Chains A and B, each alone.
Chain A
Amino acid sequence: DTGVSQDPRHKITKRGQNVTFRCDPISEHNRLYWYRQTLGQGPEFLTYFQNEAQLEKSRLLSDRFSAERPKGSFSTLEIQRTEQGDSAMYLCASSSASGSREAFFGQGTRLTVV
């Protein structure tokens, strides 16, 4: 499978715990994006990387959220001290900086905070 891969697919955690999600982009894509989607809404942009550099962060990304892409390949999104409002689908996407530039999405990680 050469698409965007996310792990885990589902995560249930207790409020206050930390969680980490992983995204493996399409191998030739140098741009990687994180989105959050809640029920009945379109995805909302959180942050994006070009290679290993984090170029933009949304105001939605509070201090409890941190994302990394240390070697310009896979990325991790960590949420510290989870709150019930963090329950959502977390989507990762990747794209190329040139040529056909549309973003391709992974299957997402569904987070439930109880």
Chain B
Amino acid sequence: EDKVVQSPLSLVVHEGDTVTLNCSYEVTNFRSLLWYKQEKKAPTFLFMLTSSGIEKKSGRLSSILDKKELFSILNITATQTGDSAVYLCAAPTTDSWGKLQFGAGTQVVVTP
């Protein structure tokens, strides 16, 4: 059975800190790994990773995939209160890339 596990489940940091979120996966016929940010409602897409060792960056967020060890990390540097959200990791489980197996998410709280 396909599985995606995120850690930690929650963390609280101060503005300006750096956070690292972990995602491990066991997916048959692995295709890609996706990260989403969910603030209150819709998960919003952050990154899609398909190749091992290639870092993707968007502003203060970056992510990398290790296909040998079956995990990914999401880094947020110089955190701001607007980064407070649940960060979800997911992997497509079939050729339909929208059929996703999600982890439970990591709740990040950034305090002023």
Residues of A within 8 A of B43 (CB): 43, 91, 105
Inter-chain CA distance A91–B96, complex, in Å, is 17
Inter-chain CA distance A106–B41, complex, in Å, is 8
Contact B100 A45 (CB under 8 A): yes
A88 to chain B minimum Cβ distance, whole angstroms, is 13
Interface bin, chain A: 20 to 34
Inter-chain CA distance A33–B42, complex, in Å, is 13
A85 an interface residue at 8 Å Cβ cutoff? no
Contact B96 A48 (CB under 8 A): yes
Inter-chain CA distance A45–B101, complex, in Å, is 7
B13 an interface residue at 8 Å Cβ cutoff? no
A104 an interface residue at 8 Å Cβ cutoff? yes
Contact with B along A48-83 (1 / 0, CB 8 A): 101000011000000000000000000000000000
Secondary structure type dominating chain B contacts: strand
Q: Which of B14-22, B54-62, B72-80, B102-110 contacts A (4 or more CB under 8 A)?
A: B102-110
Number of interface residues of B (CB under 8 A): 22
Residues 62-109 of B at the A interface (beta carbon under 8 Å): 88, 90, 94, 96-105
A95 an interface residue at 8 Å Cβ cutoff? yes
Inter-chain CA distance A112–B98, complex, in Å, is 26
Q: Which residue of A lies closest to B86 (CB)?
A: A42
| Of A4, A43, A101, the contact of B102 (CB 8 Å cutoff) | A43
Contact B103 A93 (CB under 8 A): no
B27 an interface residue at 8 Å Cβ cutoff? no
Contact B103 A101 (CB under 8 A): no
Contact with A along B17-59 (1 / 0, CB 8 A): 0000000000000000010100001111100100000000000
Given the known inter-chain contacts A42-B88, A42-B90, A42-B105, please indicate yes or no for A103 contacting B100, CB distance below 8 A: yes
Binding site for A on B (CB under 8 A): 4, 34, 36, 41-45, 48, 88, 90, 94, 96-105
Interface pairs (13), CB distance under 8 Å: A31-B98, A33-B98, A40-B104, A40-B105, A42-B88, A45-B99, A55-B96, A56-B94, A91-B42, A95-B97, A95-B98, A103-B98, A108-B42
